[in-house]
Amino acid sequence: MTMSANRKFLFKFAFYVVGTLLVASWLIPIAIAFFTSLKSMDELMASPRMWAPPKKLVFSNFAEVWAKVGMARYVTNTLIITIPSVIGALIVSSLGAFALAFYKFRLNKTVLIIFITGMLIPFQMLLIPVYRFSDATGLINTYPGIILFHVAFQLGFCTFFLRNFMKQIPFSLIEAPRIDGASDFYIYRKIVLPLSVSSMAALGVLEFTWIWNDLLWSLILLQVDRLKPVTLGLANMQGEFISNYNMIAAGSIIAAAAPLIIFLLFQRYFIAGLTVGAEKG
Partner 1 sequence: MTLRIHKDKLLPWAFLALPLTMYLIWVIIPVLQSLLFSLTYRDTIMYGQKFIGLANFVRLFQDPQFHLALWNNFIWLVFFVGIPIPLGLGIAMLFNQEYAGARLYKTLFYVPMTLSFAVIGTIWAWIYHPDFGALNTILRAAHLDSWAKQWLGDKRYMTMALVFVGVWRQVPYVMILYLAVLKNVPEELVEAATVDGANWGQRFRHVIIPMLAPATVVAVTISIIDSLRSFDIVYVMTNTKARAAEVLASYMYSSAFHYQDYGYGSAIAVIQFLITFGFIVVYVSNTLKNELQR
Q: Which of residues 93-122 bind partner 1 (CB under 8 A)?
A: 93, 95-96, 98-100, 102-105, 108-109, 111-118, 120-122
74 binds partner 1 (CB under 8 A): no
Residue with Cβ nearer partner 1 (61 or 252): 252
Number of residues assigned to the chain: 281
Give min distance, CB of 141 to partner 1, in A. Answer: 14
180/184 Cα distance (integer angstroms): 12
Window contacting partner 1 (CB under 8 A); options: 58-66, 79-87, 91-99, 195-203:
91-99
Q: How far is CA 204 from CA 90, 100, 272, in A?
A: 7, 20, 12
10/254 Cα distance (integer angstroms): 42
Q: How far is CA 261 from CA 72, 125, 235, 254, 257, in A?
A: 18, 33, 22, 11, 6
CB 75 within 8 A of CB 254: yes
Exposure string of 31-59, with b = 16+ CB inside 10 Å and e = fewer, is ebbbbbbbbbeebbeeeeebeeebeeebe
Window contacting partner 1 (CB under 8 A); options: 54-62, 64-72, 194-202, 225-233:
225-233
Residue with Cβ nearer partner 1 (29 or 60): 29
* Of the residues 129, 179, 180, 181, which one makes contact with partner 1 according to CB under 8 A: 129
Give min distance, CB of 270 to partner 1, in A. Answer: 8
Give min distance, CB of 267 to partner 1, in A. Answer: 6
**3 state DSSP class of 261:** helix
Give backbone dihedrals phi and psi of 82, rounded to 5 degrees, phi first. Answer: -70, -50
Give min distance, CB of 129 to partner 1, in A. Answer: 3
Nearest to 212 by CA among 270, 159, 172: 270
Give min distance, CB of 7 to partner 1, in A. Answer: 12
Q: For the window 16-55, what string marks contact with partner 1 as x by the rule CB under 8 A? A: x-xxx-xx--xxxxx-xx--x-------x---xxxx----
Q: Which of residues 148-187 bind partner 1 (CB under 8 A)?
A: 148-149, 151-153, 155-156, 159, 164, 167, 171, 184
248 binds partner 1 (CB under 8 A): yes
**What is the CA 28 to chain-centroid distance, rounded?**
23
Give backbone dihedrals phi and psi of 88, rounded to 5 degrees, phi first. Answer: -60, -45
Window contacting partner 1 (CB under 8 A); options: 62-70, 79-87, 196-204, 207-215:
207-215
